[in-house]
Chain A
Amino acid sequence: SYVLTQPPSVSVAPGRTARITCGGHHIGSTSVHWYQQKPGQAPVLLIYYDSNRPSGIPERFSGSSSGNTATLAISRVEAGDEATYFCQVWDSTTDHRVFGGGTKLTVL
């Protein structure tokens, strides 16, 4: 089955750019979706089809994907961005949905 690999944690100072990676075999050939989950809350869709933002998601959040790595970038990081971020793909060979293990973002 398809495996997505994320770093367990990323730390960034306020105002800087955080980059969270999601590794997978030829992930650049499929669509990647990102979710933000704050403690005690349900996940929220952040980015869909690699780089699209749902309405209400700030432009500070952006996504890209190429080769074996997809990246979620958060510019001008704020304290309120502290959360766990998950990537997700559709595995077309099994029709399963697959999540990465999640990355906890800490704002220093």
Chain B
Amino acid sequence: EVQLVESGGGLIQPGGSLRLSCAASGFTVSGNYMSWVRQAPGKGLEWVSIIYSGDGTYYADSVKGRFTISRDNFKNTLYLQMSSLRVEDTALYYCAGTIGAAVYFAYWGQGTLVTVSS
């Protein structure tokens, strides 16, 4: 059974930094495309970033230059380093995995909440 478990969320002041983690089991982070998707309170889904199995990375325009996606193959864990956080980054952050090079999200974690507020 595939499990994706996010952690690292919390309350952070504007301008601060935070690192999210997504620990995978039953699923290989390195062999599949992995993304972060966020959902602001009461809003829709917003794709944030993706890391390909070949290490290529892409970011939504709203976070480019501030967020960095990475993974630790040994720990089978996905990360999202977030810096220069803004109030509008407040959201539930989901880790989502594809099957191989698919362009849809087959697996989702339960999310970790990031609140950016002074």
Do A and B share a complex?
Answer: yes
Identify the A interface with B (CB < 8 A). Answer: 1, 31, 33, 35, 37, 42-45, 48-49, 54, 84, 86, 88-90, 94-102
Q: Hey, which chain A residues are within 8 Å of B41, CB to CB?
A: none
**Are the C-beta atoms of A33 and B104 separated by less than 8 Å?**
yes
**Are the C-beta atoms of A48 and B104 separated by less than 8 Å?**
yes
Q: Is the interface of A mostly helix, strand, loop or mixed?
A: strand
**Are the C-beta atoms of A86 and B105 separated by less than 8 Å?**
no
User: Nearest residue in B to A33 (C-beta to C-beta)?
Assistant: B104
Q: Say yes or no for B23: interface residue by CB 8 A criterion.
A: no
Q: Say yes or no for B108: interface residue by CB 8 A criterion.
A: yes
In this complex, how many residues of chain B approach chain A with their Cβ under 8 Å: the count is: 20
Identify the B interface with A (CB < 8 A). Answer: 35, 37, 44-47, 50, 58, 60-61, 94, 102-106, 108-111
| A1-B61, A95-B58, A96-B58 known; A45+B106 contact, CB < 8 A | yes
Q: Hey, which chain A residues are within 8 Å of B105, CB to CB?
A: 33, 35, 43, 45, 88, 97
Bound-state CA distance A66–B112 (Å) is: 36
Residue A31 contacts which of B44, B61, B103 (CB distance < 8 angstroms)? B103
Bound-state CA distance A49–B106 (Å) is: 12
Residue B106 contacts which of A31, A54, A86, A97 (CB distance < 8 angstroms)? A54
Q: Hey, which chain A residues are within 8 Å of B44, CB to CB?
A: 84, 86, 99-102
**Are the C-beta atoms of A43 and B94 separated by less than 8 Å?**
yes
**Are the C-beta atoms of A97 and B35 separated by less than 8 Å?**
yes
Residue B60 contacts which of A31, A49, A84, A96 (CB distance < 8 angstroms)? A96
Q: Hey, which chain A residues are within 8 Å of B35, CB to CB?
A: 97
